[in-house]
A and B are shown apart, each in its own frame.
Chain A
Amino acid sequence: MSGPLLQVTDLQVHFRVRRGAWGRQTLLRALAGVSLQVRAHEALGVVGESGSGKSTLARAILDLITPTVGRIVWNGSDVARLAAGERQQLRRDLAIIFQNPLASLDPRMLIAEIIGEPLRVHRAELDERARQREVAKLLERVGLARAIAGRYPHELSGGQCQRVAIARAMIVKPRLLVCDEAVSALDVSIQAQIIELLRTLKNDEGLALVFISHNLAVVRALCDRVLVLYLGRMMELAPAHLLYGRPLHPYSRALFAAIPIADPDIQRARLSSTIRGEPPSALTPPPGCVFQTRCPHAIQICRLKVPVWEPAGEARYVACHRWREL
């Protein structure tokens, strides 16, 4: 299969929002035009802060939200036009793990039941014992002791819960795993372990990953390419080593500049030059480039015209009027 596994074209998701009891309805553009591709064995990082639309993107890829505009093509088929049987296959091929590991597990179910649930949906022919055998195999795969199977989610640590979530996601052998801020709620040392587990799964099983995070350090450890989102729009897309070597878009640069560095002199200097302002509301996006309200390099054209998504070198794209001169 030489083509991409997942192809998203001009994805837009709009929500209708009513302001107050008698207010008019306005449109919240959570995603305003995102296109991307993911191949097998590849990890695509999606970086953005709150309001960037990254969670909406994750849910749209998983077919949990219906796009307002745009196409999602999985394995050559348009997701919106699938028959019921093919849709079940899609649920098997795509998996997701969430930010809050404990919240993603049903508090009333035993771990063994949680991990085994996808088998009940997709491999109903298995009996209870066969299911439990599979569950035991997955527990080992994600590095958990067998005894965990008999516990409840609230008895486990955050890292253990996330491993359970990964086991549940992997038990039906998906081809693409979406990680929606999957390590943000975990301790730094546990983050490293989970990233390592994900990397092993990617390499061993040809799993494609869409890794969504606001943490650039973590994205770098895992991803081959990185897409930067801001207010539902794409800002920059580049191979990881190129982005981390030299980010082109002012927002990417602001993200890098904001990372706390564990060196007193460097960090003190960084604190005196932080980016100003808050992200604008998605209900009333600014005209022209959405980043212009906070961009230190904004000029007249940035306030008038939406920048074009254009190639900027080897497999790189950027949406900025001034990327060439900055």
Chain B
Amino acid sequence: MSENAVLEVENLSVRFAVAGQQITSVSDFSLSIAPGECVGIVGESGAGKSQAFLAVMGLLAANGRAHGSARFEAAELIDAPGAALDRIRGARIGMIFQNPMTSLTPHLKVGDQVAELLVRHAGLSLRAARRRALEMLTKVQLPDAERRARQYPHELSGGMRQRVMIAIALACDPPLVIADEPTTALDVTIQAQILALLAELKRERRMSLVLITHDLGVVAGLAERVAVMCAGRIVECADVTTILRAPTHPYTQSLLRVAPHSAGTDI
């Protein structure tokens, strides 16, 4: 229970009402994230890793209920009123999702989508917001940023769209960013670029990053701590070196067995 934790989740559980029954997708989830720390949440699909953080953000489906506590900047997020969450999402907590094609608005130019956030949360004028949006897009290494800012999402490649998503997530300089499978849908060389970008941005801004993924290699380069989830529970949580070199839980060991290990090409 750290005093200056950016996000403090305690005993979070998430249940869905399906056909008259209650299905538990997350139980007993407790995690504390320090400022500037990157925590990897690793598990296979269905492990509940996305649901846990959707619950924290107040983005669960209509038939889902969250119980427990998630404290962020001295406010309780679970069951907080919609207006309060709207102020926090985007401005104080940035979000990066897996599929940028469906997360970006198809009929708005990408530059405007970044600017929109700044107008809404930072109160900038449209012109100032557009200027800052261009800075952000350059910061995320979008090639030819000025021209691309005037294009629509479908005109950009997957990697470029993901850079735009990162720009949107970081636009208001949030202290916490939640990235849910940010590179899963990308080609492997582009994935490496995006991971390198995230590493650099995290270093520069001292922001906390929650990195949700099924790939241990992805957390290896970015996270300081890793929480391994299985069937809705955290089965092991330790610093990244321990998890990757000397895991104690059998599930973690099984994940490690199928992950690529050595340097060079002999994988």
Contact = CB atoms under 8 A, between A and B. Distances in A.
A245 to B, nearest CB: 6
Provide the main secondary structure of the chain A interface. Answer: helix
Interface residues of B, number: 42
A271 B258 CA distance: 21
Nearest to B239: A264
Interface in A209-223: 214-217, 220
Interface residues on A, range: 35 or more
A255 B189 contact: yes
Contacts of A259: 188, 217, 260, 267
A311 to B, nearest CB: 21
Contacts of A256: 264-265, 267
Contacts of B261: 261-263
A49 B189 contact: yes
Interface in B197-238: 199, 214-218, 220-222
Interface string A176-219: 00000000000111011000000000000000000000111100
Interface string B160-198: 100000000000000000000000000111111101100
Contacts of B187: 49-50, 214
A260 interface: yes
B159 interface: yes
B263 interface: yes
A49 B158 CA distance: 12
Interface string B26-67: 000000000000000000110000000000000000000000
A257 B192 CA distance: 9
A275 interface: yes
Interface stretch (B9-17, B131-139, B240-248): B240-248
B54 to A, nearest CB: 19
A258 interface: yes
Nearest to B156: A278
A152 to B, nearest CB: 16
B103 interface: no
A120 interface: no
Given A270-B221, A271-B221, A262 B143 contact: no
Interface string A273-314: 011111100000000000000000000000000000000000
A264 B244 contact: yes
Contact of B159 (A191, A260, A272, A278): A278
Interface in A33-64: 49-50
B193 A244 contact: no
B255 interface: yes
Given A50-B187, A187-B45, A220-B267, A278 B221 contact: no
